[in-house]
Structure 1
Amino acid sequence: MDIAGFLKSQFLCHLFISYVFIGTGLLVNFIQLCTLIIWPFNKQLYRKINCRLAYCVSSQLVMLLDWWSDTDCTLYTELENYTKYGKENAIVVLNHNFEIDFLCGWNFCERFGVLGSSKVLAKKELSYVPVIGWMWYFLEIVFCKRKWEEDRKTVIQGLYNLRDYPEHFWFLIHCEGTRFTEKKHEISMQVAEAKGLPKLKHHLLPRTKGFAVTVQSLRNVVSAVYDSTLNFRNNENPTLLGVLNGKKYHADLYVRRIPLEEIPEDEQECASWLHKLYQEKDAFQEEYYKTGIYPGTAIVSPRRPWSLINWIFWASILSYPLFKVLANMINSGSYFTILIFALLMVIVSVGVRRMIGVTEIDRGSAYGNRENKQKQK
């Protein structure tokens, strides 16, 4: 192992990265809170400021993938569509098979300059999580409780609020609703059989209502749907902890641009269209497992330096108070004070690990199990 690899695996490095992320996040959350006074007078200025503030936080995670772990991200797409990415509003449909699929989605956004303004349909519980959840609240992220009878009105209102958004944005959505596991897949395919739908091998059945409402609410605002299918070479099973340890992965992302006018407006027809889309995604995934490539032209989009520059900026600002406190404690000679400081740093690290844990497959929600079982009753 080289020196860089050794340092990336060290707990103290992870501790410092966690400190910078938490410190930046809490400062950004506080600044976002202060920007609320702008909203009544200039809503669009508030939004532009919060896009930049959100970038300060989310780009740190992208920095880990791009610059810390040096993960390769290859995009497969049509060249005529490539020139449009980042220059229009879009709904991005992502598969949900890996622990870092959301991070690769953010990486996709970052490569085309829309990370700060990117949106997601997120579960309500995440809105209470410090740093990321609070950042999303000020960024007007659409939250749902995963109970459609309660969510419909809230989701529609949240989407309609984005119709006059001043920045190009991508709305990222996992139509499967929960991360793929063998158990959830088995139950999902039982539902497919009961409903007379073609079975999928590599995906769960998509939840059509949220997608249909998203398309209806953002029609004439969003130009296209980007159907995105992610995979990793050599049967890699990437994890966020692996990224934090500097492990390099090799991601392949296939993106199809589908003009929004090709998607039916009727809810039932839109649902049928989405089921067909997932059958096609399944076929692309199956072909990838056989050949190791996706259709289209393979493009390695250049890494933008801004995520790294942003991290260096915040690390420089936050290093001074950290090392000043540490120096004062060492000079004081109080072992108790040093112990308290060490415990606080460990708590910071554990806090980041807990946030990482929210995304881990083994700790994923039972949503797919519970909801699919209810549909079979």
Structure 2
Amino acid sequence: MGLLKLLKSQFLCHLLICYVFLVSGIIINLLQIGTSPLWLVSKQLARRINIRLGYCISSQMVAALDWWSGTECTLYTDPKTSPLYGKENAIVVLNHSYDIDFLCGWAFCDRFRVLGSSKVLAKHELSYVPVIGWMWYFLEIVFCKRKWEEDRRTVAQSLQNLRDYPENYWFLLFCEGTRFTPKKHQISMQVAESKGLPKLKYHLLPRTKGFWVTVQNLRGTAAAVYDSTLNFRNNEVPTLLGVLNGKKYHADLYVRRIPLESVPEDEAECSSWLHKLYQEKDSFQQHYAQTERFPGPAVSSPRRPWPLINWLFWACLLLYPLGLLLAQLTTSGSMLAISVAVALCSAVSLGVRWMIGQTEIDRGSNYGINIQPSLKWTT
């Protein structure tokens, strides 16, 4: 195991993993673009194809978490409601505290077979980013500019487009709008005090407008809200770079199924309902801090082999020709060819490091700190 751990920490392994992810992602993006004419003939067939193409990308990141890192995730939930997971459309409300909470959300989706069709509310700029952004575009991910006056119409329309989606999906929402940091928490609690709202210890104030718009437009389509609260044992601070280094984390996820009809339709009442939900989430985190577990029973949700199988397929497909190319470059003796190869590897490495850096909390957005109040999706 010591040798395997050492191997996982090697830069060359990271480079090969990232090479497979980026090159396969570009290939899949091109295949997704190739489905464009099909949308005019059969939208539902095009959607089903893109669900599976999207899975080929997102499941590689889940494979890194589940199989490369070996991270374990314990699910705490009601055994009576867990059989419904993956068999209905749902709005998943996640806390936003860690670099890899989005990845844990994807792993949760994969365990219940909705990873390929899962949706998120993402920044509009991401739609221009190759691999993930382009994949999301063809999966009809809902993009927003975080400017309410512009988003209220476009987001509602995007959500309405999902009403006839051919397969079950989960819509993942980070209602806090940005990752938790002490600075953001301090500012958020100042807002809570000014508005007469109860203060939270482990969360930022939720952005209620985005939640209300989502609920209103998915009524009759989504069956429930899955209130999901994530934490890590032993005060672990997981990072995407840690996952890439093969570091094993231990995640605990507490999920409550709340029927969507119990969420008020009135905007003000819905806002109050969401604030109460986050007060409850705060109490769950307090319980976890005291007992190192969430309330309720743990339910088995084993990792699936398909993310690993998918990654092995792309690795076999792409690493063999890469090996032949590198062998030819080495035997050619051409310093120019070798220099070009080294430069390309360095560029891939820098690009991947930059992408990983964007997931780190201290590199997160300043949303909620320096945006004018009139432009926020405020409470």
TM range (shorter): over 0.9
Distance 2:100 2:92 in 1: 16
CA deviations 1:273-293 (Å, max 9, x no partner) are: 000000000010011001111
Partner-residue secondary structure (3-state), 1:80: coil
TM-score by length of 1: 0.98
Question: Gapped runs of 5+ residues in structure 2?
Answer: none
What is the deviation of 1:354?
1.6
Query: Deviation at 1:320?
Result: 2.2
Residue in 2 that maps onto 1:225: 225
User: Which residue in 2 is equivalent to 1:120?
Assistant: 120
Q: Equivalents in 1 of 2:118, 2:342: separation in Å?
A: 36
What is the CA deviation profile of residues 1-23 of structure 1, one whole-angstrom value per residue up to 9, with x for unaligned ones? Answer: 71110110000000000100001
Distance 2:128 2:154 in 1: 17
- Helix, strand or coil: the match of 2:38? coil
* Other-structure match for 2:43: 43
Matched residue type, 2:215: V
Structure 1 Cα separation of the partners of residues 3 and 293 of structure 2 = 33
Return the offset for 1:262: 0.6
* Contact 1:73/1:300, CA 8 A, preserved across alignment: no
Aligned to 1:285: 285
Indicate yes or no: 2:249 matched with 1:258.
Answer: no
Quote the offset at 1:359 in angstroms: 1.5
Per-residue deviation, residues 245-287 of structure 1 (Å, max 9, x unmatched) = 0000000000000000110111111111000000000010011
Alpha-carbon RMSD: 1.2
Look up the match of 1:365.
365
2:358 is the counterpart of 1:343: no
Superposed counterparts of 1:19-98, under 5 Å: 19-98=19-98
- Please say which of residues 332-341 and 283-292 is displaced more in the overlay: 332-341
| Residues 124-203 of structure 1: pairs in structure 2 closer than 5 A | 124-203=124-203
Alpha carbons 1:69, 1:244 under 8 Å: kept: yes
Q: Distance in 2 between matches of 1:347 and 1:60?
A: 21
Match of 2:41, SS? coil
Distance 1:372 1:192 in 2: 17
Aligned to 2:99, what secondary structure does the other structure show?
Answer: coil
- TM-score norm. by structure 2 comes to 0.97
Partner of 1:276: 276
Contact 1:240 1:356 in 2 (8 A): yes
Equivalent AA in structure 2 for residue 159 of structure 1: L
Correspondence for 1:10: 10
Gaps of 5+ in 1: none
Q: Is the Cα contact below 8 Å between 1:93 and 1:225 reproduced in 2?
A: yes
Q: Does 1:356 align with 2:356?
A: yes
| Count of matched residue positions in the alignment of Structure 1 and Structure 2 | 376
Q: Which amino acid aligns with 2:258?
A: I
- What is the DSSP-based 3-state SS (H/G/I as helix, E as strand, rest coil) of the residue aligned with 1:314? helix
Aligned-partner Cα distance in 2 for 1:7–1:180: 33
Once the two structures are TM-superposed, the CA of residue 346 in structure 1 deviates from its matched residue by: 1.9
Q: Which residue number in structure 1 is paired with residue 245 of structure 2?
A: 245
Q: Aligned AA for 2:64?
A: L
Partner SS state of residue 140, structure 1: coil
Question: Which amino acid is the alignment partner of residue 185 of structure 1?
Answer: H
